[in-house]
């Protein structure tokens, strides 16, 4: 069969808000190792646990999977799990195209908006060899985890922009839902995003070309 031509979409924005895990960094190997152990500890199906975990803060995953357990126990156990995840960087690599994509954004308005903690961000971005964006909204910055829009709204505010002026890059169901709830357009990155209602989807960041307008705005050419 002849190869289908790629479709191209142009998005214009004043600022970009970027998720980390699954969007800039492939940390699936670590996530699976840690959460499979956690699933076994609690006699839960590993695959079901992994279907829930992506994009959320750990304590919210635990609350969803162990609904009758006091939240204080979830916070306590999540602190231990975060320490495990932060110490384990084996197999953490950049998403295809992430180094060039972030290099193109240097000096331009962009922010990281992630459910990861500050220490986990430093560990994974460092392991992947990626620069830290100047503005970061981490787990410590918000009162509610994705799919709540708080993180993305704070990211826009940090850039001095309205939600409508921003484009979000996300891979997870809860992250895409959070961005849409914030009133933002979303580029869904990778296989997890395909079934989600993003504005446009890309297999990886090497399908995104970044250019700029004369007044400093972004022109994104997205090849799906």
Residues labelled as active-site residues: 19, 21
Task: Put the strands of the sheet holding 208-212 in their side by side order.
Answer: 8-13, 218-223, 208-212
Q: What is the DSSP string of the chain?
A: -PPPPPPEEEEEESEEEE--BTTTEE-HHHHHHHHHHHHHHTT--HHHHHHHHTTS-HHHHHHHHSTTS-HHHHHHHHHHHHHHHHH--TT-EEPTTHHHHHHHHTTSSEEEE-SS-HHHHHHHHHHHT-PPPSEEE-GGG-SS-TTSTHHHHHHHHHTT--GGGEEEEE-SHHHHHHHHHTT-EEEEESGGGTTS--SEEESSGGGEEEEE-TTS-EEEEEE-
Phi and psi at 116, nearest 5°, equal -80, 155
Whether 193 and 55 have beta carbons less than 8 Å apart is answered as no
Output the six-digit token pair for 166: 């921003």
């Amino acid at each position: 069969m002849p190869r289908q031509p790629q479709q191209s979409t142009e998005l214009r924005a004043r600022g970009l808000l970027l998720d980390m895990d699954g969007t800039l960094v492939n940390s699936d190997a670590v996530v699976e190792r840690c959460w499979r152990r956690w699933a076994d500890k609690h006699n839960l199906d590993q695959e079901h646990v992994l279907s829930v975990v992506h994009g959320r803060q750990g304590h919210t995953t635990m609350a969803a999977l162990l609904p009758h357990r006091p939240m204080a126990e979830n916070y306590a156990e999540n602190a231990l799990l975060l320490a495990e995840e932060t110490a384990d960087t084996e197999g953490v690599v950049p998403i295809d195209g992430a180094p060039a994509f972030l290099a193109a954004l240097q000096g331009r308005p962009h922010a990281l908006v992630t459910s990861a903690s500050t220490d986990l961000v430093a560990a994974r971005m460092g392991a992947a060899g990626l620069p830290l964006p100047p503005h970061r909204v981490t787990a410590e910055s918000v009162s509610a985890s994705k799919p709540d829009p708080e993180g993305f709204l704070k990211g826009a505010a940090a850039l001095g922009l309205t939600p409508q002026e921003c484009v979000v890059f996300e891979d997870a169901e809860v992250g895409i839902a959070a961005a849409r709830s914030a009133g933002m357009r979303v580029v869904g990155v990778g296989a997890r995003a395909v079934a989600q209602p993003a504005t446009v989807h890309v297999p990886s960041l090497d399908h995104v070309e970044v250019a700029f307008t004369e007044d400093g705005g972004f022109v994104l050419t997205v090849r799906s």
